[in-house]
Amino acid sequence: MLRITGLTKTYKTGDKALKGVTLEVPAGQVVGLIGPSGAGKSSLIRCINRLIEPSEGKVFLNSLDVTGLSRDDLRLARRRIGMIFQEYALVERLTVMENVLSGRLGYVPFWRSFFRRYPEEYVANAFALLDRVGLTDHSDKRADALSGGQRQRVGIARALEQDPELLLIDEPTASLDPKTSRQIMRLIVEICRERELPAIINIHDVLLAQAFVERIIGLRAGEVVFDGPPEALDIAA
């Protein structure tokens, strides 16, 4: 479970991006985070994984106090938080398998040239993940040979490879066509339920969010202005 209490973020410029955000995301729940540009969505995501330092407030991931970790211990938090990105953030010239393993093995070409093969249990696990995201026969393809939807599937498999306790997902479908976007949203929600993973999806497409997630949180000017099931959201408001 993710628990955030009284989170504020004031940038050096004086911009108050978050003004006391409190929320909980239980295991298996996928939250769609919506709000106009400048509402504080990316500031919230970045405070949770401490890409930026919150000004006040706490972030707990299960029993781990993420906000209490020293800079040196941040690696620990980052391994527990899987990230999925709009532009996939794959290494284009590496294979699908190498991309999936890149989080664990670091500089994968080093492993390839030096050890010639990767530890077997990692490979077996990565194959299982590729199977789950529908890329069974694509492990040896280079990332730059894939379609957008396939790339995002690799991004999902790579995030799961670190066996995270939370997924933070930034505009996962913004570069995809509508049909592929729906497939990716469905896949993310199914996987989070199966693995009992809490997830926050920063998503600008409100209709897409409403169609797939069970809970929507609306941010405006750094505050939570809506928190409820998608059917309770009045689009006009």
Minimum separation from the CB atom of position 6 to ligand ADP (A): 17
- DSSP secondary structure code for residue 237 in this structure: -
| Encoded tokens for 138 | 């694509």
Query: Which of 25, 29, 40, 173 forms a contact with ligand ADP (CB under 6 A)?
Result: 40
Residue 17 or 188: the one with the smaller Cβ distance to ligand ADP is 17
Is residue 35 within the footprint of ligand ADP (CB under 6 A)?
yes
Residue 37 or 63: the one with the smaller Cβ distance to ligand ADP is 37
- Distance (Å, whole) CA 181 – CA 172: 8
- Which window, 13-21, 173-181, 186-194, 225-233, contacts ligand ADP (CB under 6 A)? 13-21
Where in the chain does DSSP place strands (E)?
2-10, 16-25, 30-34, 56-61, 64-65, 81-84, 166-170, 199-202, 215-220, 223-228
Is residue 15 within the footprint of ligand ADP (CB under 6 A)?
yes
- Distance (Å, whole) CA 53 – CA 70: 11
Is residue 63 within the footprint of ligand ADP (CB under 6 A)?
no
* CB distance 149 to 183 below 8 Å: yes
Residue 27 or 221: the one with the smaller Cβ distance to ligand ADP is 221
Is residue 42 within the footprint of ligand ADP (CB under 6 A)?
yes
The count of residues interacting with ligand ADP (CB under 6 A) is 12
Q: Give, as ranges, the residues between 103 and 142 that touch ligand ADP (CB under 6 A).
A: none
Of 190, 189, 135, the closest CA to residue 157 belongs to 135
Minimum separation from the CB atom of position 175 to ligand ADP (A): 13
Helix (H, G, I), strand (E, B) or coil at 138: helix
User: How many other β-carbons are positioned within 10 Å of the β-carbon of residue 25?
Assistant: 19
Minimum separation from the CB atom of position 14 to ligand ADP (A): 8
List residues binding ligand ADP (CB under 6 A): 11, 13, 15, 17, 35, 37-43
